[in-house]
Structure formats: structure tokens, C-alpha cells
Amino acid sequence: MADGPFLAAPASITSITDFRISDQAAGRQGAPLIAFFDALQLHHPTKLRSCQNISGLANYTDREENFDRDGVMGSQGAVDQAIVDEYLRNHPSVAIPPKTTGREILHTLSRHSHYLLDDAGIPAGAKEAITFAWQGMEAIVSRPIPIPGRVQACREYVLGKVSPGPNYIQVLRKVLSPLEPGGDHLAPLTEMINYVDGKVFDNRW
């Protein structure tokens, strides 16, 4: 990705970049950056929901613990060798070169993600754009992104680097308009309202 000024200058727009580096500067790991946004989008008053970020390493727990300390929970399980063997026989990443893979494998995953996101009122192709547009706004108004309580460095920190463009004053006026006269900060964000086809999405699915 280009540095902020190299985006702001040719495009003539204010750019906010380097969210990951900012998170690392705060003493954290630079990821995940969208957990709080997922919580805003997917929360439900009565249902327990889990949002899984498919990446190089993934884990989930619905207990009070934030992680499987000393692998106690995991050690109680048993390996299903048949599933492991099936995976190893068919997964393209473990095939001997020269190798390729069929589109149907990746397309199945894409369709599944599209279905789940759209059910939640989030356009599947726009989630990342929506997430970082929101984080950019938070940077402009100097409001820190809430972080999970389990991380080691819990100090609030504004993420992102602002590279002003010709529209910088207009951007400031727009995002700071909710401030009361004489106010010096915005209240923390605790709720987000989805609109689907111009109507409020109640998130009751």
C-alpha cells in the first residue's frame, strides 16, 4: 500500500492510513483491527454470536476465559484422522508441484461468506471499505478505537495517520458537526445503525 501523501496528492482527497502501524506503536500486535466494528454490526440483545476472522491462525471460545490456558480444553479432544486424511488428500496447499486447484473450491468459500455477511445486513464486497471508512472517521475526530480487555496494552490510542488533501477543512467540518458548542470530544461509539435499501436494519436474524 502507498503511503498516505501518495494517495492524498494525486487523488486530491484527505487520506487516513497506517492503522496497523499505529496499533503496533500502542504496544499491540497490529491485528485484528476490525473486532469492535464486527461487534457493533453483529451484536444481538439475546443471542450469543461469534465472528470468526479466517486467517493464518484462528481460535474461538464461548467461556469466560479469553484463551485456552496451557491447552487444557484442547487436550480433552481427539483427532478425527479420517477428516485429516481427507483434507490432506484434497487440499491444494499440500499437493506436490506442479499443482493447481479448481475454482469450485474457492468459489464455495466466497459464496458462503457472501451469504453470511448479507444476512447480517452487510454488503459482502463492502465490509472492509465500511470498516476502514469508520476507522478513518474515528481518526479525524481523535477518538480511540475500543480494544478487547484481554490485550496486554490497554491504553486508549487513536489509530491512523492523516494526510490532508484539498478537502481537509470540509472533512473536519462534517465530522465535527455533532460537537456541542464548546465541546472538545465526542462520546464513545456504542451503537451502529444499519440501513438496507433505505430502511433501518434491526439485526434480529
What's the CA gap between 202 and 194, in Å, rounded?
Answer: 8
Model pLDDT for residues 24-54, shown as the tens digit of each residue: 887 777 777 777 777 777 777 777 777 666 6
Q: How far apart are CA 56 and CA 39, in angstroms?
A: 21
Contact 36, 24 (CB under 8 A): no
> What is the residue-averaged pLDDT of the chain?
72
7-18: per-residue pLDDT in tens? 888 888 899 999
Q: What is the pTM of this model?
A: 0.60
CB 61 within 8 A of CB 53: no
Q: Is the pLDDT of residue 205 over 90?
A: no
Q: What cell was used for 173? A: 467540518
What the block records as the C-alpha cell of 128 is 472492509
Is residue 98 scored above 70 in pLDDT? no
Per the DSSP assignment, residues forming a β-bridge with 194 are 201
pLDDT bucket at 202, cuts 50 / 70 / 90: low
- Say if residue 164's pLDDT is above 80: yes
Does the pLDDT value for residue 163 go beyond 90?
Answer: yes
The bridge status of strand 199-201 relative to strand 15-17 is unpaired
| DSSP string covering 108-124 | HHHHHHHHHHHHTT--G
Residues shown for the chain? 205
Quote the CA–CA distance of 176 and 34 in Å, as a whole number: 23
| Contacts of residue 152, Cβ cutoff 8 Å, sequence gap at least 6 | 27, 28
Burial code (b: 16+ CB inside 10 Å, e: under 16) for 158-176 equals: ebbebbebeeeeebeeebe
